[in-house]
Structure 1
């Protein structure tokens, strides 16, 4: 039986890991979930003591500082969680010989209009990073710290993450659609949603194959947030007028990339991988939420 430690267990991805392993892999994977109050990944001695006691085969790191605008105000903390802690986890993975699976983001890329023309299917994994905000910068530094320290890792980049747990765009739209008659939604940021269930399924497959390195896990298709909102309301039979607006209508502290679609060809080449079309992934999620 594989022993896996899960960090960031209270987030939407962490909760999805627990649900899927609980339901589908109870005899194959022993999962020990840790929330930030159970184990603070920035308290290195505490982490070291726990890992040495548990002797995991795999550590799944879903813990991160994910408040994109908040990272601009809390730069030291964002770097500590997103770069320094993963570096320490990587050093421990070498000492204790476990595989580290770490989650990163589409925001490591610059997201220019030129890139959208160059990569209509999304950024390939090896494209040079050039983040436009502090959150993306710290996540990229975390990736680099892992790559430079150990080969025994999986870095999984996701984008526009949504699932049945926690807060995300799909759940926000469902709530606002019930409360309001009109909504404005950004129509000049391009990408595709990563559905938490599909992410975990593909990650479990990667673990089973012994894969290492960096992989993108998102859905097929290229859309804007406006496109996604319209589809949510249509599929849910919610009548609301949605107005397409530019990002300028919602000023934010952190700059957002114009284009952050992740290419999935690399993971599609792995046997038994399942990359869903965004419409199918959305329908699955809406069915679960209802």
Structure 2
């Protein structure tokens, strides 16, 4: 039995879909079924269920709002994760924790290795890294998987926003100096399921292959959707947000390759399939 938290989010939704496709017994839960911030409730729930693996996709992900809600963000991402990890330890379950490119300082232009310059620039990034530390501290049977620029069928994301605005407007300003890799949840989910079936524990980076700026990503979305909206490339300095975003979100896949896992398809290939799925 595999337990998946955050089933109502983009990734949790696709993980459960993939497990069911493989006919693996699973249970997807949202905050209505389990408040991960309540230590006793989490402990009772997981020890009662006795899963072999917990894929922990539930998280506080409102990056800008987190700057004003630091306590709530930590409650979910740090202490909620700790609660899950403690319960996993009790039942000897594997745990897969989803982390983020936001744990890095975003400097330079080379892909970050697993132990790269960890220095979160935002409250959200800090909370996700502290969640990583809780998992490492409590468990031996863990996978920490850092993804970036996530998009999936269930929930809001950059692609859906660009499609909506691209159909309404003649032009859009999009940041061109933040570089990373989009990640399609339908591609990431099978990898997480493979990990759950394996014992190749450790920290991994998993995104679709290839790098682009947000502006280049937006241009490809508009092009593939046959929209006529022009994408204007602007620097981050002209698009101020409450939380600081990393300029460099390139992630090295060395640990993924070393462990014999397959790399995800290119982000352009993923985007094409996603637009078909959206229809």
- TM-based fold match above 0.5: yes
| Counterpart position of 2:243 | 254
What is the total number of aligned residue pairs between the two structures?
279
Aligned with 1:73: secondary structure?
coil
d(CA) in 2 for partners of 1:50 and 1:145?
Answer: 20
Asked if the contact 2:46–2:88 (Cα under 8 Å) also holds between the matched residues in 1, the reply is no
TM-score between both structures, scaled by the size of structure 2 = 0.97
Q: CA deviation at 1:268?
A: 2.6
Structure 1, residues 90-134: CA drift from partner, whole Å, max 9, x if none?
12221110011110000000001xx21xx2xx2111213100111
Residues 169-228 of structure 1: CA deviation (Å, up to 9, x unaligned): 011111111111111111111101111011111112222332111111102212100000
Q: CA RMSD in A?
A: 1.2
Structure 1 residue 213 and structure 2 residue 195: aligned? Answer: no
Contact 1:198 1:274 in 2 (8 A): no
Q: 1:107 aligns with which of 102, 109, 127?
A: 102
Q: How far 1:272 sits from its partner (Å)? A: 5.0
- Aligned 8 A contact 1:187 1:225 in 2: yes
Corresponding residue number in structure 2 for 1:144: 133
Gaps of 5+ in 1: none
Of 55, 61, 70 in structure 2, the residue corresponding to residue 60 of structure 1 is 55
| 2:3 alignment counterpart | 5
Unaligned runs of 5+ in 2: none
Tell me the SS of whatever aligns to 1:205. helix
Match of 1:202 in 2: 191
After the TM superposition, which residues 1-290 of structure 1 pair with which residues of structure 2 at under 5 Å, given as runs?
3-22=1-20, 24-26=21-23, 29-112=24-107, 115-116=108-109, 119=110, 122-271=111-260, 273-290=262-279
Contact 1:154–1:215 (CA under 8 A) maintained in structure 2: yes
TM-score w.r.t. the length of structure 1 is: 0.93
SS in 2 for 1:228: helix
SS in 2 for 1:284: helix
2:265 is paired with a residue of what secondary structure? coil
